[in-house]
Amino acid sequence: MKFLTIGIMISVISAIVSYFMWDAAHAYQLPGIAGVAFIILSAIFSGNLVSGDRMRANFATETEDTRRERHEIMVHFALLGLPNLVVAVFLYYLH
């Protein structure tokens, strides 16, 4: 819940900064960039961007604790990114 709240704050602040830097027509840009960046980081930490052989090797060599830690980091980045993407899409269609 903490990371979702932080993501909402980042999206609101980036929307306000984007609004004052450009105008209302481009207020979606900074939240969109932040959202995509967090989602890409989430995908990197999930391990889905590697080949099947590499995924099997990583799964075989990592412990359950490191797997759980990697999964938590992935979820945290996703929770940071989703509010940013929602705000970006909302601002895009609002204007």
Q: Is the pTM of this model over 0.95?
A: no
pLDDT at 80: 95
pLDDT at 87: 94
Domain edges within the chain: 2-94
- The sign of the dihedral angle between the CA atoms of 76, 79, 81, 84 is negative
Please tell me what DSSP assigns to residue 69.
H
pLDDT at 83: 95
Per-position pLDDT tens, the chain of length 95: 899 999 999 999 998 998 898 888 888 899 999 999 999 999 998 888 888 888 888 888 889 998 899 999 999 999 999 999 999 999 999 87
Q: Which of 85, 65, 63, 61 is nearest to 73 (CA)?
A: 65
